[in-house]
Amino acid sequence: MAHPTTIPPNSKKEPRRHAIGRPSVRVYRRDWDADKRRAAAQLDQAEPAWLVSYGLGSRRFFAVAAWPVSRPLIVEAINVDELRDLMREAELTEIAANRAYVPREVRP
């Protein structure tokens, strides 16, 4: 017997895709924002002092400092070029505020 909310009794509607007894339907995988995720992966490889990722839900690029900082250092942007600029600005700000440790990749 089908679930009452899936197929109302005496209904002339066709059973839904997930109804009991329906044949399975192949669902194709969608590769959402593949170009942006690829750009984030390339920037992540090019910037060893940062962890770079792309948020599918937010559709924004994020970078997290991968070296000891005085406070969590996260920057976000709508494109890779803006993110790279914000990363350089954050590095300079961190260098000015705390010269205790700056990774070699970031030193001016």
- 42-101: per-residue pLDDT in tens? 999 999 999 999 999 999 999 999 988 878 999 999 999 999 999 999 999 888 777 655
What is the CATH code of the structural domain delimited by 34-97?
Answer: 3.30.720
Sheet holding 60-65, edge to edge: 50-55, 60-65, 74-77
Using DSSP, state whether 7 is helix, strand or coil.
coil
Tell me which DSSP letter residue 65 carries.
Answer: E
Q: Are 10 and 2 in contact (CB under 8 A)?
A: no
